Amino acid sequence: MELRAPESISFAQTSFCPGCGHGIVSRLIGEAMEEMGLTEKLLTVVDVACSSLHIDTWKFDTVIAAHGRPIATATGVKKIRKDNPVLAYLGDGAAYSIGIAETMHAALRNDNVVTIIINNGVFGMTGGQMAPTSLEGQKTTTSPKGRDTSKTGQPFDVVKVMGSLDIPYLARGSVSNLGDIRRTKKYIKKAFEKHMNNEGFCLVEILSPCPTNLGMAPVACSERIDGVVKEFFNTGEYIDKEGTK
């Protein structure tokens, strides 16, 4: 079988688990850059968690930032390299837990970076602990009886928190089925278009399977997203300043 992938994505051995959504998003970014003619310009900043594994599979100049700080670091990169597209890429633990201040304030300043946050509902890299996005009742290694929201608070919904901010773009996609993968790629491209237009902070959250830590087969893990996760985390475009929604 002939393998085809954007030039910026290598077929080198990857360390992502089978069925992981990070790999799909990696490819979507590669395709989007190729189609937009930005492959040789993109600068990326990734978190230390599973996001960091991209550094060996794509061929963009990349910084691995401290856990939770990729958006702040990406802002620093963009301030110096104004002509380059700059992407901050991180997990939901990084973005909404340890890095919530960096995430919120980049949005409040409307920093001109594209941010992609992988919402897989757990801390992946450290072995499946509860994340701010874990659903009510979800079993994780630190919520073994299921997440009890009376003790842990509600799952973090970026759309509710950021929906009213003065930023140009906020969307939530998913990579759990083919239709969603196509739509998510459109969201990514739109975010980069607005970014290259210097409109400001563009955020795409992506629902993504983590079969390893959910202890599910890849297909079942994706089906869970479509059946259960999307009930809580609806997908779609929430802020689109140019009004193409």
Which residues here bind ligand SF4, judged by CB under 6 A? 16-17, 20, 22, 50, 120, 124-125, 210-213
Tokens found for residue 78: 């963009």
Minimum CB distance to other proteins smaller for 79 or for 160: 79
- Closer CB to other proteins, 62 or 176, in the complex: 62
Binding to other proteins by residue 87, rule CB under 8 A?
no
The interface with ligand TPP within residues 103-122 (CB under 6 A) comprises: 118, 120, 122
Site string for other proteins, 97-136 (x = CB under 8 A): ----xx-xx---x---------------------------
Measured between alpha carbons, how far is 7 from 56 in angstroms, rounded to an integer? 14
* Binding site partner of 63, from ligand SF4, ligand TPP, other proteins, none, Cβ cut-off 5-8 A by kind: other proteins
Name the residue whose CB lies closest to ligand TPP.
91
What is the three-class DSSP state of 221? helix
Distances (CA, A) of 19 to 105, 149, 232: 33, 29, 22
Closer to other proteins by Cβ: residue 67 or 147: 67
Report the half-sphere exposure of 217 (CA within 13 A, side-chain side).
Answer: 2
Reading the block at residue 39, the tokens are 């492959």
User: Looking at beta carbons only, is 128 or 168 nearer to ligand SF4?
Assistant: 128
How many residues in the shown chain lie near other proteins by CB under 8 A? 34
Distance between CA atoms of residues 219 and 192, nearest Å: 30
Listing DSSP states for 49-116 in one string gives SGGGGGGGTB-SEEEEPPTT-HHHHHHHHHHH-TTS-EEEEEEHHIIIIITHHHHHHHHHTT-S-EEE
Comparing CA positions, the residue from 137, 116, 138, 136 lying closest to residue 213 is: 138
Distance CA 185, CA 173 (A): 9
What's the closest the beta carbon of residue 35 comes to other proteins, in angstroms? 16
Nearest-approach distance from CB 23 to other proteins, in angstroms: 18
Partner that binds at residue 140, options other proteins, ligand TPP, ligand SF4, none, CB closer than 5 to 8 Å by kind: none
What is the binding site for other proteins (CB under 8 A)?
7-8, 40-43, 45, 52, 55, 59-66, 69, 72-81, 84, 101-102, 104-105, 109
